[in-house]
Structure 1
Amino acid sequence: MRRMSFEPPAEHYDRRLEAIDEQICDLIERRKELSNNNPGFPTKQLISSWSKKYNFYEDFLNSVFAGFLNEDIYRPVVEPKGFLKNIPILKSFEKDDVFYSVTFVRQFENASVVHFNIDREDSDDEMPRRFREPIFFDLSIEGRETDYDCRNEGGGGSGGHESYTFIVSPALPDDLSKLKLVFKQCKIPFQKPTGFEFVINLDK
């Protein structure tokens, strides 16, 4: 999914703010380093106190700190190019009558695309999809020294079937036998883990 290019919301910039804005960037970097890039979120009491002390709306401060949690979504997008082949996987995991499966991987010259499905019984008594708490899955890959970047490209479905794709870069090796796909369920919009995860081993 190609991200739209950013357009500045204003045409002017007060250059008197340059030193202050650079200090803000420096503080953000120091915040990441001090927290090992896992800062959590300020308590409601802190947000309320800071909003009064510095004359900001509470919702504005909430949005600022929420933005710090989502930096990864701004990583440069890798667009798969140069299709090579499809690799069948057909591996699955089942829990509470929900069937999770990885059907195949599409190999490109610069990336791989993992196809992930979720299937459940489409019951008339089940809560309609639009009223369910929105969740999604993060993917990480273990088994090699390579640090793979895995991006959930979204998906959709109908009835009891959902289908999603993950873009993985760099491209996975053709021999997937030593790799493990680790799927972690998260709540959106802040990617908060629910505690449910499972592993699909790609050994033959």
Structure 2
Amino acid sequence: MTDKREQYDRRFETIDEQICELINKRKSISSKSSIPTSQLITSWSKKYDLYEGFLDGLFHHLLVEDLFKPYVDPKGFRKNIPILKSYERDNLFFTVTFVRQYENASIVNLTMDKEPLEENAESLLEFTFLELSIENNGVEYDCKDIGGGGSDGHMSHTYTVSPPLPDDMSAVKFIFTEYKEPLQRKPTGIEFVITLENEL
């Protein structure tokens, strides 16, 4: 099959670069949760002879740019550092259990536990979209949720963090923010911070 990029029409080059420039400009002035209203989508689809579904998909696609961001593949295992610090809310018990240290990254492990009552089984699932950010003396970290799983009463998530966290984590803050949907940037208002100074 012929690669479409090998057949690129150079007449599009200036236009395509302008598209990239406008996307970059939009990123610099808008939050990632900003999507045009359905009325605007309908108006623009008629004005520019484009399908509404295409335009809607295009703007939603701009929300998930982070999916394409390259993340470090942890290599060179060094040690496991126990954390065992928790936060409790509405009978949900969140615990950062340990951090796995590699030469080029760290892996943070978060567990979520709830009394596994059948009538409340869905309550735990509502808390699955948790994003991690790190504060540590002004150092910038990239954090990525690399998956999780569990049962009605217990779930776990793992996050890669790069560059690697220091072995001394006394100044590190693990900030977890809940969103209604993954990568949709619609926070529920629930956020909690775990540090080594926290008491259970």
Task: Output the TM-score relative to the length of structure 1.
Answer: 0.87
Map 1:164-175 to 2 at 5 A: 164-175=157-168
User: Does 2:52 align with 1:58?
Assistant: yes
d(CA) in 1 for partners of 2:9 and 2:168?
55
Instruction: Give the Å deviation of 1:143.
Output: 3.2
Instruction: Give the Å deviation of 1:134.
Output: 8.0
Map 1:8-157 to 2 at 5 A: 12-35=7-30, 38=32, 40-127=34-121, 135-157=128-150
Q: Percent identity?
A: 54
Task: Give a deviation string over 1:93-133, Cα, whole Å, max 9, x none.
Answer: 0111011000000000000000000111222223558xx66
Map 1:158-197 to 2 at 5 A: 158-189=151-182, 190-197=184-191
Change (3 A) 1:98 1:147: same
Instruction: Give the Å deviation of 1:75.
Output: 1.3
Instruction: Give the Å deviation of 1:51.
Output: 1.2
Count of matched residue positions in the alignment of Structure 1 and Structure 2:
194
Structure 2's unaligned 5+ residue stretches are none
d(CA) in 1 for partners of 2:180 and 2:56?
17
Change (3 A) 1:162 1:11: farther
Let me know the Cα RMSD of the aligned residues: 2.1
Change (3 A) 1:135 1:46: farther
Task: Output the TM-score relative to the length of structure 2.
Answer: 0.88
Higher relative contact order (CA 8 A, sep 6+): 2
Comparing 118-127 with 172-181, which one deviates more in the overlay?
118-127
Letter of the aligned partner of 1:147 in structure 2?
A: E
Change (3 A) 1:148 1:29: same
d(CA) in 1 for partners of 2:149 and 2:4?
32
Q: Is the 8 A contact 2:33 2:185 kept in 1?
A: no
Structure with the largest fraction of helix: 2
Comparing 164-173 with 52-61, which one deviates more in the overlay?
52-61
Letter of the aligned partner of 2:139 in structure 1?
A: T
Q: Is the 8 A contact 1:139 1:182 kept in 2?
A: yes
